[in-house]
Chains A and B, each alone.
Chain A
Amino acid sequence: MIYQAAIDESFPVAEPTQFERLRRGDPAALAEAIGQYRHRLYRYLLRLVRDPASADDLFQQTWLHVVRHLHRYDAARSFDTWLFAIAHNAAMDLLRRRPNESLEDREFALPAGGPDALSTVLAGERTAILAATMAALPALYREALTLRFEESMKLEEIAEVTHAPLSTVKSRVQRGLEAMKQKLRKEDIL
């Protein structure tokens, strides 16, 4: 391992030390980890719940769960997927309680009319339209897309985070992309 670390700069030698410190309950290691993951975790939660106040709460809940269950974390597994799986569970609990939230509507159609024209003009960005179109997808589809394209997770990692079979993850990515493409084509964005 030492030889591999010496010849390969990308070899993660620092990680086990940080997790050992985390496991011992070292507050500095914890603050370091929260800082390290704050952008990614917050973005993932915000894409899922679409509401900054709920994303804030879920972010805190996720870290509280991490601290309480760190002894269950298997260091042989990826910390990223463990952390995002905890966040996924917390977000799903919240979304299931929302009366109008569609988690995985098999017959979903993106709303006609598209993103608010004024906000699009004000934002002046194609990305604003893309983000609004993605936000209109059912939760599990936008989750699959954000994990694949924003988190660059592999199929297996997405399946682990979402507790779904590989075929289901593939189908969510495919249907999410197809729905977005159809919608954006209608809007002449693509």
Chain B
Amino acid sequence: MSDHESVRQLLALSAAGLLDCSQERMVREHARQCAACAAELDEFAALAAGLSALPSPQPPAYLLARTTALLAAEADRRQGAAFAAASAVFAFALVLLTGQALRTLVGDSAALAWLAWAAITSVFGAASALVLTSRRRLERSTV
């Protein structure tokens, strides 16, 4: 490839400021002697300047408020999930401790009855929580 051809390949990148020092020097030196490359370099430079000065599209006014509201809902959801997890752990520990206390004070049958009752109410409680969560999600998505 001739010197002229190899420099022509670099003109766009020179206008974009993406050449290293030695390549940039080579382009500049060649353009000083070659009118065609100098003209092309000017065109690329004008194009680069035009792209840098393109008017910036304005984001819609509601976008900031809508995004902030979305993130607040996300924070709310995460806080709710953390609270629900902590409550579940606490309830589980309470059930076990109560079962142990009943076993010591009353006997095995009372402890078993308590654990069975706790298991049934937990299943219903978890199902209700799931229904409520999915309903809230649906409400949020339709707002």
What residues make up the interface of A, taking CB atoms closer than 8 Å to B? 25, 27, 30-31, 34-35, 38-39, 42-43, 46, 52, 56, 59-60, 63-64, 67-68, 126-127, 130-131, 134, 145, 148-150, 152, 155, 170, 173-174, 177-178, 180-181, 184-185, 190
- Taking the closest CB of chain A, its distance from the CB of B64, in whole angstroms, is 6
Point out the residues of chain A lying under 8 angstroms from B1, CB to CB: none
Knowing A60-B67, A64-B74, A174-B12, say if A127 contacts B59 (CB, 8 Å): no
Point out the residues of chain B lying under 8 angstroms from A63, CB to CB: 67, 70-71
- Taking the closest CB of chain A, its distance from the CB of B15, in whole angstroms, is 7
In the docked arrangement, what's the CA distance between A149 and B48, Å?
7
In the docked arrangement, what's the CA distance between A34 and B71, Å?
11
What residues make up the interface of B, taking CB atoms closer than 8 Å to A? 9, 12-13, 15-16, 18, 43-44, 46-48, 50-60, 63-64, 66-68, 70-72, 74-75
- Taking the closest CB of chain B, its distance from the CB of A115, in whole angstroms, is 14
Knowing A39-B59, A149-B48, say if A177 contacts B67 (CB, 8 Å): no
What are 8 A-B pairs with beta-carbon distances under 8 A? A42-B59, A56-B60, A64-B74, A126-B50, A127-B54, A131-B55, A184-B47, A190-B47
Knowing A43-B56, A178-B12, say if A145 contacts B63 (CB, 8 Å): no
Residue of A with least CB distance to B40: A181
Our pick among A35, A39, A60, A173 for the contact of B16 (Cβ within 8 Å) is A173
Residue of B with least CB distance to A42: B59
Q: Which applies to chain B's interface (DSSP): helix, strand, loop or mixed?
A: helix
- Taking the closest CB of chain A, its distance from the CB of B78, in whole angstroms, is 9
- Check if A43 sits within 8 Å of B57, measured CB to CB: yes
Our pick among B9, B18, B59, B68 for the contact of A155 (Cβ within 8 Å) is B18
- Taking the closest CB of chain B, its distance from the CB of A190, in whole angstroms, is 5
Point out the residues of chain A lying under 8 angstroms from B53, CB to CB: 127
Our pick among A39, A60, A130 for the contact of B50 (Cβ within 8 Å) is A130
- Check if A181 sits within 8 Å of B43, measured CB to CB: yes
Point out the residues of chain A lying under 8 angstroms from B58, CB to CB: 39
